[in-house]
Structure 1
Amino acid sequence: MKFNKTLRNVIIFSLVALSCGWIGRLIDLQVGTDENGSVGQLIWLVSPFLSIVIIRSWMGDGWKDFGIHFRMKGNILLYVFSVFFFPLMAFVIVGISSGLGWTYISQSSSPYLAAFGMVLAPSFIKNIFEEFAWRGYMAPKLFKLGYNRLLVHIAVGVIWSAWHFPYLFLFIDTTESMSTYIPRMMLGVIVLAVLYGEILLMTRSVWPAVVMHTMGNAFIDTLILKKFIHVNEETRYMAMPSPEGVMAIALTGLAGLWIYKKRKIMIPRQSHSGFSTKGLNHIS
């Protein structure tokens, strides 16, 4: 019965996540405010989180595996990694692609730092809602059901990437066909789900994912959306430092593999302490 209840609740959460953005988009179109910062986008962003509050509070899932504690003791290096991974990845990709003539840097670093600082706090708040839905609910519940770790990461990545679809047009500026762009974007999000999910298993906390996601959004989105870098249209699929870029997918995949291997070494110690992949009852 417990297995069925948890699976039922995960399905309910997934249906809410897959539908809330389209509902928000419809509302935006009806009231004529189909733009960044709309009421529909607020519905899209907070609905998955609100659904887990209801599910955990009144549908039997409880709060034990919510990952709310910081658990910094013994995990400082993973927090440092979470802060610096995306900025370093962006430097590597922009450096390589600019050397190859695929990208050029259009503005100096001083206005960039100001623009980055302005979006840091809003990005952090936004990612509390997002990460405590995906890493704070869906991932631990699927792990608790005993599914294969890789399959859990893929399932979370697929639903998480599909959640982005209703408002995807606001965050990209490309002439590429969606038939090639969307599968590559989904692969990039699945790879991110592996990295975030493995760090969740290592730390038993959602906060490193919040930090990493915040730094990724603030650092990389500022570069792209504020036009600090310009990527040639014909090489965007390779050179974009965001999740749909081939180089970004490869580097994120390598980071996820490194965390995966690192955690395999630590499994005996974690099992001895009563923590395992199949039962995240003590992840909070």
Structure 2
Amino acid sequence: MNKKVLRNTVVFIVLVILSGWIGFLVDSTLPEQPKGDSPGMGIWLVLPMLTAVAITIFSRGNWKDFGFKPNFKGNIKWYLIAALIFPVVTAAVLIIGVTTKWIDLSTFDFRPLVLVFSSTLLFNFIKNIFDGAPLHGYLTSQLLKLDLNDWKIYLIVGGLWGIWHIPYYLIFLPETDIQAVLPVNRTIFSIFMTITIVFWAVMFVELYRITKSIWPGIILHMVEDSLINPLVISGFISIAAGKEILISPIFGIITTILYLLVGLGIRAYRKQASQIMFSEIKEERSFPN
């Protein structure tokens, strides 16, 4: 095992876990800050990327690990797939919800939703360069160097991504947003969302692995933030009380299973493509020109 990579990975994980609490300590020394918009929340958001950059500089690491190169050639379909995953799955969830009468669309208005969606895309694109991308890209690349299997990578990346969000759910996120999604206390909300993030991580990790780029994952996350969150938080749909855990477009069990299946589908495609490529290389070596 590469001790240098292991050391850098441990340092990265520790600082990512601490980032939100460092932000909380900063906010605690300042006058009262608005929820969802404070210097501490800014520190929480950017520290993982800054940590990955600093480690790469001081350890003379490989900048390719970040996946900043878009790698459009041969991957345009994955950019398109990334943009469509959340709308398609959400449409399926809404159909299931309406059929079972767990979701009420009487307040749904398409035009205002499109306006909210389009007006927040750029902000969410920039934000998501920091939110998750250092984990889906940099951390995944380091775990691959440590020869960890797929399931351990999903668990570590997803687990860390979820743990990193805990200060956000416990401290930074406005209470009104929590109650709009699920009427529970912050601790229970944090548990539900952390579990959901672990399952979601499979999609993000696999998009990075199959394209060697963080940008499809950033587009995936951008669409999620601009579509799913307003759909629920802004009241475009109503979910029957007690059915949120089953059908919520954000964290419902049915929804989460669908996203897991999407991630595993991308994984199956990647593994099949790798086998085909390996077979072609083996044949070329067996029959030299």
1:254 aligns with 261
Find the partner of 1:172 among 152, 171, 178.
178
- Aligned twin of 2:99: 99
The CA deviation at 1:8 is: 1.0
Contact 1:131 1:206 in 2 (8 A): no
User: Is 1:157 matched with 2:158?
Assistant: yes
Which residue of structure 1 aligns with residue 148 of structure 2?
A: 147
Match of 2:275 among 255, 268, 278: 268
What 5-or-longer segments of structure 1 have no aligned partner? 275-284
Q: Distance in 2 between matches of 1:65 and 1:73?
A: 18
Report the CA distance between 1:167 and its aligned residue: 1.3
**1:97 is paired with a residue of what secondary structure?**
helix
SS of the aligned residue for 1:64 comes to helix
Distance 1:102 1:10, change over 3 A: same
Number of residue-to-residue matches in the alignment: 272
Aligned to 1:110: 111
- Other-structure match for 1:196: 204
Aligned ranges 1:1-284 → 2 under 5 Å: 3-30=2-29, 31-105=31-105, 106-169=107-170, 170=173, 171-173=177-179, 174-176=182-184, 181-242=189-250, 244-271=251-278
Is 150-159 or 34-43 further displaced after alignment? 34-43
Deviation of 1:178 (Å): 6.1
TM-score computed with the length of structure 1 as normaliser: 0.89
1:93-150 superposed Cα distances (whole Å, 9 cap, x missing partner):
1221123222223131111111111211110001111243112211110011111121
Return the index of the structure with the highest Cα Rg: 2
Checking the alignment, whether the CA contact within 8 Å between 1:134 and 1:160 is kept in structure 2 is: yes
Contact 2:166/2:194 (CA < 8 Å) preserved in 1? no
SS at match of 2:198: helix
Distance 1:34 1:21 in 2: 16
Structure 2 counterpart of 1:9, which letter? N
CA RMSD after TM alignment:
2.0
- Give yes or no for contact 1:14–1:159 (8 Å, CA) kept in 2: yes
**Residues 29 and 101 (structure 1), Cα distance of their counterparts in 2 relative to 1, 3 Å cut:** farther
What letter corresponds to residue 91 of structure 2 in structure 1?
F
Counterpart Cα distance in 1 of 2:169 and 2:156:
20
1:41-65, CA deviations, whole angstroms, 9 ceiling, x for partnerless residues?
Answer: 1100000001111011112323132
In structure 2, what residue type is equivalent to 1:211?
I
Q: Distance in 1 between matches of 2:277 and 2:45?
A: 34
Could you say if the C-alpha distance between residues 273 and 51 of structure 1 is closer, same or farther in structure 2, counting changes exceeding 3 Å? farther
Report the TM-score, using the length of structure 2 for normalisation: 0.87
The structural deviation recorded for 1:180 is: 5.6
Task: Structure 2: give runs of 5+ residues left out of the alignment.
Answer: 282-289
Partner AA of 1:27 in structure 2: V
The one-character-per-residue Cα deviations of 1:168-226 (angstroms, maximum 9, x if unpaired) are 15252233366765444333211211111112111111111011111111110111221
Query: Is contact 1:158–1:190 with CA below 8 Å preserved after alignment?
Result: yes
Q: Tell me, in whole angstroms, the C-alpha distance in 1 between the residues paired with 2:209 and 2:63.
A: 17
User: Contact 1:239–1:247 at 8 Å: present in 2 too?
Assistant: yes
Corresponding letter in the other structure for 1:134: L
Task: Name the aligned partner's letter for residue 222 of structure 1.
Answer: P
Same amino acid, percent of matched pairs: 30
Offset of residue 273 of structure 1: 9.2
CA distance in 2, matches of 1:57, 1:262: 34
